[in-house]
Amino acid sequence: MVKTIEWTEEGVRMIDQRKLPTVEEYPIFKTYRDIAGAIRSMVIRGAPAIGVAAAMGVALGVRDSKATNMAELRAEFDEIAETLAGTRPTAVNLFWAIERMKRLFKELASEGADKRLVADRLIQEALAIQAEDIEGNKRIGRFGQELLPNSGTILTHCNAGALATAGYGTALGVIRAAVEHGKRLRVLADETRPFLQGARLTAWELWKDGIDVRVISDNMAGSFMRQGLIDAVVVGADRIAANGDVANKIGTYPVAVLAKQHEIPFYVAAPFSTLDLKIPDGSHIPIEQRDPSEMTHISGVRVVPDGVPVFNPAFDVTPNSFVTAIITDRGIAVPPYIENLRRLNHS
Ligand code: MRU
């Protein structure tokens, strides 16, 4: 399995997802500021992977802090947490992971632990978040694979695979688990303009694993559905509200609308760290607006006339009425989500 992110004594090693599939490089990020830069520039991306990177960033920042006493370290901790939290606004796993690190830091500080012990415990916590994510994805896979047919074609959008998580993947974890159970599946990967997570990343990791994958451009899905060539859709999520509204990569909503029109099940796979049960619905989810150059250029070549403005929202919100089921690491939720997600949360 590809190593998306790894803690090392020198810093945090990540596969550079901007360069895939042509170049496979694993640079090491040696400061928390470098890690924040890697999250912002999408060296690492995907909600759970961003959470793991932020947790490791917090641990690294504390370990390498020059603070000489706890008061100084507390002030520096706030700066570290704010820098990492200011990178990408939509994926709630980022804030979930930072909050978890913050809670532990406060607990240790109030117990009077020294800096070295605090740093060691924070490193252990970041590694626990990473390990739990992989275990959670395997559970998502086990629950979700039962929903897929014994043979057929599954459409996915963006990359919700090993590269987007600590490993195994959410949406792609469901597909992996189904294939491991002997189901004969073909995957159609939407190319996912403008960053091409589908064409570059989903195709790369499934191909490497020997899973049958073909790439289609984003505007082909409707035609394939109308011809009866797609049996189910599985996607990941960046944030899920209490009522089951789902924020995911821009272009997910039109796929969900098409799936409903063609009576094709539309599944969302995500761990509980992607649930934001504090917000009642998707209208409260902040949508990241990214740099226009991602739209105006492809691989450094301008494709939009110079001076013409573009829009570049990175995510959209799919209302719960389009979602057949939400596959979580604690089980499968079906409508009404407001009750069933809450029930799983307390299970
Ligand atoms: O902008 P990205 O590449 O970080 O967006 C990623 C997605 O939208 C994924 O589908 C989502 O984070 C789930 S990853 C398991």
Contact 276, 290 (CB under 8 A): no
* Residue among 238, 245, 316, 329 flagged as catalytic: 238
Please identify which residue in the block is written with the tokens 């507390």.
74
**Minimal CA–CA distance to 7: which of 30, 25, 33?**
30
Cα of 46 from ligand 1 centre, angstroms:
4
- Could you give the domains of the chain? 5-138 (1.20.120.420), 140-345 (3.40.50.10470)
- Whether the CB-CB separation of 234 and 248 falls below 8 Å is answered with no
Compute the distance from residue 173 Cα to the ligand 1 centre, in Å: 14
Q: What is the pLDDT of residues 45-99, one digit of tens each?
A: 999 999 999 999 999 999 999 999 888 999 999 999 999 999 999 999 999 999 9
Atom of ligand 1 nearest to the CA of 288: 1
**CB within 8 Å of 10: residues ≥ 6 apart:** 28, 30
Rounded to the nearest angstrom, the distance between the alpha carbon of 112 and the centre of ligand 1 is 39
Query: To test the ligand 1 pocket, which listed residue (14, 190, 197) has its Cβ within 8 A of the most ligand atoms?
Result: 197
Residue from 14, 238, 246 whose mutation best tests the ligand 1 pocket (most atoms within 8 A of CB)? 238
Instruction: Give catalytic status of residue 276 as yes or no.
Output: no
What is the DSSP-derived secondary structure letter of residue 220? G
**Separation CA 128–CA 130 (nearest Å):** 5
For residue 75, report the distance from its CA to the centre of ligand 1, in Å. Answer: 32
Q: Which atom of ligand 1 is the closest one to the Cα of 88?
A: 4
Pocket test for ligand 1, best of 158, 170, 202, 276 (most atoms within 8 A of CB): 158
Tell which atom from ligand 1 comes closest to the C-alpha of 165: 15
Atom of ligand 1 nearest to the CA of 161: 15
CA-nearest residue, atom 10 of ligand 1: 236
How would you label 153-177 residue by residue, b for 16+ Cβ within 10 Å and e otherwise?
A: bbbbbbbbbbbbbbbbbbbbbbbbb
Residue ranges for the chain with pLDDT beneath 70: none
pTM over 0.75: yes
Q: Output the residue whose Cα is nearest ligand 1's atom 15.
A: 160
Q: What is the pLDDT of residue 63?
A: 97
Looking at the CA of residue 314, tell me the nearest atom of ligand 1. Answer: 1
Omega before 336 within 30 of 0, i.e. cis:
yes
pLDDT (0 to 100) of residue 113: 87
Return the residue whose CA atom lies nearest to atom 6 of ligand 1.
46
Tokens 């895939």 locate to 20
| Residues near ligand 1 (Cβ within 6 A) | 45-48, 91, 158, 160, 164-165, 170, 197, 236-238, 248-249, 314
